[in-house]
Structure 1
């Protein structure tokens, strides 16, 4: 296998991505690298929620359409987080007005390092487009499932999360926006549709998909974020995860939709 160590490149025949770092004054470069690689690390922005919003506006500019409330995630001595794409469906009633907190079609994610752990916690990324393209020949049955079968994206969490709508969110793992942008989903909440006659097959393929994705993780390149650094992802193209860590770790997460979102 021909493995390149160049930052920002897809590594050989694998799906790993190692994002480049770009300073706050180089927003055009950040936009170009995001389009090329699906991910970029932004440096030099204020380590705060305001800095996170400023970075999103600076790089994505007039394409921004909807930003969701930032989430501060703290964890101590935590286990690994497997590869996934951010998406959820949360709707609140605030003073009688429906307010969307999360959206199944969030197309970009920003993860800002607030506190780095004592050890571990390295991040890793996979190019989901490459994974699906490779599946077409390496595992045609899995490819057919990802591109051709409807699932309930969040059915595994039904009745467990307040604000999650009762109506099933039906979608395929691989879909396209009206403008032709490909969406490749990866969530632990997917289950077969209610009374799907092929429910057994769907469960088997969901398990196969999960195992195939987890099998990628050990071979992916690792990188760490310093305090204040921001990982900006194309959420339709990239899956992200992190290793287990010792000590406290805190990140601030901002998800959003742009004009190109589904």
Structure 2
């Protein structure tokens, strides 16, 4: 990727007060991300923020996750998704979904230093590949992989491979651009060597983009809302303690 193309994929989300959350859908459609301010810093905050921003489009919420780190390492660009079903009283319950289309992250405790967030417009990344790296674009749009095969053996993860492409579309035409470290070639795929090489090439291209992306910092209580089909997100290393709440969901526009 050329530096000019790297810079073009960066996103700095607009900030909107929770009282004006009705403006969030416009911002999400425009850039794929928005930050809500004036949100209570508690366990109900993300559900309230999701309802305020998406309203009747909400369909399914997944369990709230809390993440704490001390002197944390960088988190590289990724899109949230996982495929986890657990048994609760002999009834299967889905805790994560491969097609989560929105992610909300609330800053519970900012770190002493570092930990700045960064976002990439994955749609533009793929579109830029048409000229910067056509072979990579061909791979992302036309090759099936096992999306979570690298994590096989984790409890709750289905043993049946989740087959898909990095770039797909919903039945209504909404584009999905996936980014996960779990992708591997399908079992006994005759093109395994080529696919492994392209997965490495994809990772290298994404890592190259990270350094040029604009940084921003979430203040305590602020909520970042992402279109998970369009945006990849990550953060820099930090010192001290850092805490966030994370909520993933499916809307009526999900696959």
Interval containing the TM-score (normalised by the shorter chain): over 0.9
Matched, 1:223 2:211: no
Compute the displacement of 1:2 (Å). 11
RMSD: 1.5
Match of 1:153 in 2: 147
Compute the displacement of 1:118 (Å). 0.3
C-alpha distance in 2, partners of 1:259/1:49?
Answer: 24
C-alpha distance in 2, partners of 1:209/1:162?
Answer: 28
Judge conservation of contact 1:75–1:248 (CA < 8 Å) in 2: yes
The one of 69, 73, 81 aligned to 1:87: 81
Q: Where does structure 2 lack aligned partners over 5 or more consecutive residues?
A: none
Compute the displacement of 1:34 (Å). 1.0
Judge conservation of contact 1:88–1:104 (CA < 8 Å) in 2: yes
Match of 1:8 in 2: none
Matched, 1:68 2:68: no
Match of 1:129 in 2: 123
Matched, 1:192 2:192: no
Match of 1:99 in 2: 93
Moved over 6 A (4+): none
Residue 158 of structure 2: SS of its match in structure 1? Answer: coil
Judge conservation of contact 2:38–2:222 (CA < 8 Å) in 1: yes
Q: TM-score, normalising length from structure 1? A: 0.95
Match of 2:166 in 1: 173
Compute the displacement of 1:99 (Å). 0.2
Judge conservation of contact 2:6–2:209 (CA < 8 Å) in 1: no
Residue 220 of structure 1: SS of its match in structure 2? Answer: coil
Compute the displacement of 1:137 (Å). 1.3
Match of 2:254 in 1: 261
Judge conservation of contact 2:7–2:212 (CA < 8 Å) in 1: no
Match of 1:6 in 2: none
C-alpha distance in 1, partners of 2:40/2:247?
Answer: 14
Q: Where does structure 1 lack aligned partners over 5 or more consecutive residues?
A: 4-10
Match of 2:51 in 1: 57
C-alpha distance in 1, partners of 2:7/2:137?
Answer: 18
The one of 104, 109, 121 aligned to 2:103: 109
Residue 219 of structure 1: SS of its match in structure 2? Answer: coil
C-alpha distance in 2, partners of 1:24/1:143?
Answer: 38
Residue 141 of structure 2: SS of its match in structure 1? Answer: helix
Judge conservation of contact 2:7–2:213 (CA < 8 Å) in 1: no
Compute the displacement of 1:240 (Å). 0.2
Match of 1:41 in 2: 35
Q: TM-score, normalising length from structure 2? A: 0.97
C-alpha distance in 1, partners of 2:123/2:224?
Answer: 19
Compute the displacement of 1:13 (Å). 5.7
Residues matched between the structures, number: 254
